[in-house]
Structure 1
C-alpha cells in the first residue's frame, strides 16, 4: 500500500463492482481477495435512488455477527478522496468501522449503523451504574441481557463485567484479560462518570480524570479490535448535583459530566467508534435517581428502553 492509497476497505458487496467503482472513483481501484471471519450477511433493502442507480440493485447486503461464519470479499486500496466518496455512497443504515481481516490486517468495513442490532455476544465493562447498583433487577444491563438472549438463546450472550467504582483507566487496564474466554463480538463500555469526580475539599489538587479519557478509549479500541470486536461507548447520565453532595469524599457536578460527555463523543466521532448518548433519558428527572448519581429501578428501565430504541 503506497502513501497515496493509505486506506484499506473491506468490501463484500457492490463496491467490488468495477461499474460502481468507475461511477464513484472515476476508474477501478486496486484490490485483492480477502475474508472476514466471525460474520455472515443479510439483505438490506435500499431506497436511495442514487445508490440504486449506481449499483443497479435495490437490495444490498449488510454484515451480521456469527461465530464460525466467514464472509468472502475484497480489500480495496483507496485514497482519502476515494474513501470519502465511498462514505457518501453508503446509505445511513451503514457505519464505517474497523475490523480485523482473516489475514490479520486491520481494515475499514461498512457495518450495521446500529451496533447492538447486529451483535451476538456482548461484553459490558463499566462502573456501578452498569453493574446495576441500587436496582434489585440488575439495572439496564440485566434488562438488555434478558432481551438480547431471548432473541436467540442458542447464539446470543451478554456478560456484565462491570465493577463499582471503576474509572475508564481501570476498565482499560482490566479488560484485556477478560475477553478471550467470552468470545465477544461487541464490547460495550459504560464508564467515565468516576473520571469526572473532583475530590473534596475543592482546594485539594485533583488528578483530572478527564485528561485520561482519550488514552483510555484508545486502549479499549485496540483491545476490542484485537478480538475483532466492535467497541461501543455509552456516555454519562445526567447528574442531579443538588443531591450528590459529598459522595465518599468526591463531588460530582453536572458541568463535569457534560464535559465528559463532550470529550467521549468527540473522541468517538473522530475515531469512527459507536457512541450511545445516555444523557437524555433521565435529564431533569431527579425522581429517577436514588442519590443523584445512581438510577432507581424505574430509572434503569428508562435507560433500557432508550437502548432498545437505539437498537431497532
Structure 2
C-alpha cells in the first residue's frame, strides 16, 4: 500500500482509538519534532470530533523562537490523509512545514495565519509599503498592533519597495530573511507584473519560488491578493513608469493567486472586498488613502481574528 504523505502530529491523531476510527487501525509512525513552535489549547465544539477523540480541548501550534514541539510523523495513504482532513475542525488548515530533521511534512496549523505569528516579514510593492499614507498603510497599522500585543517577542519587518514586481520580490527575498528569522512571510505584490503582461503561469512560477524560500526559513507563507482599483484614475498614479493598470488585469491576478493557493495549500488574504467600489478611498485610483488603508487593516484583522487587534 502506497503511503506517500508525511503528516506531523503532536495531538489526538497519535491516539490509538482515533487512528482506529479514522484509518481502520494504527499507521506507521516515527518520532519527530517541529522547531520554532509551541502549543496552546483550543476548545472544540464539533460533537463528532469530541466523540472520536474523547476530548473537547485540543492543542494548536503557535510560533515561538527557540521552542520545539515533539510528536510523530504519520505515514498516510491518500485515503488516510482525506480522513484526517475531515476529522480536523475549521480552526485548523493543512500546511507544509519543515521538521527539525529537515524533512518536509504536512501539519495542521491555525486556520488564521496571522494569529499564531510572532515574527512577520512583509515583502511587496508600494501598496504594501503604505504609499499615500503617513501612518505606513495597512501594514504599518498591523505592525503597531502586533508589536504592542507582545513587545518582548513580537517583531514586524516591512521590506516592501514601491514599484516592485512579484518577480523582483521572488528574486530579492531569499537574501533578506536570515537576519530577521521570520516565522511568517507575507507576500503582497503582483499588480505591477500584470501591467507588464505577466501570465498566470509566470505568477505561479514566482509564487513557487517564494514558497520554497519561506519553507527553507521555516516561515509560513501568506499571499495577499490585489485590491480593487479605480481604473479611470490610475494614470494619475506616480512612480508607475507609465504602466496602465486595469480592473481586468487585477482580477486575473486575483484568480491566479486563488488557484495557486488552493492547489498548494497556502494561505491567501483576498483584499478585493474592503475597497470594492469605494473610489473615494483611493488617492489616485491605485493607492488607497489613509482612510482606505485603515479599512484594509480592519478587514485583515477580521479575517485573521488576530490577537494583535
1:221 match: 211
Contact 2:13 2:19 in 1 (8 A): yes
Q: Distance in 2 between matches of 1:181 and 1:244?
A: 37
> Normalized against structure 1, the TM-score is what?
0.95
Mapped contact 1:239–1:254 kept (Cα < 8 A): yes
Distance 1:176 1:97 in 2: 20
Q: Is the counterpart of residue 208 in structure 1 residue 206 in structure 2?
A: no
The Cα offsets for residues 193-252 of structure 1, whole Å up to 9 and x where unpaired, read as 101115xxxxxxxx4354410000000000000011000001000010111137532110
- Superimposed CA distance per residue, residues 99-136 of structure 1 (whole angstroms, 9 cap, x where no aligned partner): 11010000000000000000000000000000111111
1:99 counterpart residue number = 97
Tell me the equivalent position of 1:53. Answer: 51
Q: Which residue of 2 aligns with 1:175?
A: 173
Which runs of 5 or more residues in structure 2 are unaligned? none
In structure 1, C-alpha distance between the alignment counterparts of 2:78 and 2:15, rounded to whole Å: 20
User: How big is the shift at 1:64?
Assistant: 0.1
Q: Establish whether residue 241 from structure 1 lines up as the match of residue 246 from structure 2.
A: no
**1:298 correspondence with 2:291:** yes
Deviations 1:77-115 (CA, angstroms, capped at 9, x unpaired) = 001110010000000000100111010000000000000
Q: What is the CA–CA distance in structure 2 between the aligned matches of 1:30 and 1:9, rounded to whole Å? A: 11
Give the whole-Å Cα distance in 2 for the aligned partners of 1:73 and 1:186.
Answer: 22
1:309 aligns to what SS in structure 2?
A: helix
- Tell me if the contact between 2:235 and 2:242 (Cα under 8 Å) persists in the aligned partners: no
* CA contact 1:195–1:210 (8 Å) conserved in 2: no
Q: Distance in 2 between matches of 1:72 and 1:208?
A: 43
Q: What is the match of residue 202 of structure 1?
A: none
From 230, 244, 247, the counterpart of 1:251? 244
Aligned to 1:230: 220
Distance in 1 between residues matched to 2:286 and 2:200, nearest whole Å:
18
* Alignment match of 2:31 (pick from 14, 30, 33): 33
Equivalent in 302, 305, 308 of residue 309 of structure 1: 302
Which is further off, 137-146 or 247-256?
247-256
- Contact preservation (8 Å) 1:42, 1:64: yes
CA distance in 1, matches of 2:119, 2:59: 21
Conserved 8 A contact 1:196-1:210: no
What SS class does the counterpart of residue 60 from structure 1 fall into?
Answer: strand
Partner of 2:274 in structure 1? 281
Aligned to 1:201: none
Cα deviations by residue, 1:164-195 (Å, 9 ceiling, x for unpaired): 11111110000000000001000000101101
**Aligned partners of 1:130 and 1:280: how far apart in 2?**
17
